């Protein structure tokens, strides 16, 4: 009996672990979102970021240091250690 290369259970049939965990097609663009920590004149910090509609938002951060402001901004935006949010979007915090 001759089996075809796409027979059930063969790697070409799409049933292998490799096929299921393959990277998404190259047609899906990687979204990078930007957030900026602003050093205000009064010694406070603010966060400026774009929402999903492309509109800029600004908010005051309760932090005494730049490092504290970055931590608070990452927490507010839901940015994880790998610099991605829960939607899988990549963030750059400056």
- What are the average pLDDT values for consecutive 10-residue runs of the chain, which has 94 residues? 48 51 52 91 93 86 96 96 92 92
Is the entire prediction scored with pTM above 0.75?
Answer: no
Domain extent at residue 88: 26-93
Residue 5 falls inside a structural domain: no
Q: How far is CA 22 from CA 12, 40, 42, 88, in A?
A: 13, 45, 50, 16
Residue carrying the six token digits 């004149």: 41
Residue 32 falls inside a structural domain: yes
Residue 83 falls inside a structural domain: yes
Residue 9 falls inside a structural domain: no
Residue 35 falls inside a structural domain: yes
Number of domains comprising the chain = 1
């Amino acid at each position: 009996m001759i089996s075809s290369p796409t027979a059930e259970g063969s790697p070409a049939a799409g049933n292998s672990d490799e096929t299921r965990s393959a990277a998404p097609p190259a047609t899906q663009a990687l979204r990078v979102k930007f957030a900026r920590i602003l050093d205000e004149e009064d010694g406070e910090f603010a966060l400026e970021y774009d929402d999903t509609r492309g509109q800029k938002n600004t908010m005051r951060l309760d932090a005494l240091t730049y490092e504290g402001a970055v931590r608070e901004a990452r927490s507010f935006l839901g940015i994880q250690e790998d610099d991605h949010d829960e939607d899988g979007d990549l963030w750059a915090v400056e």
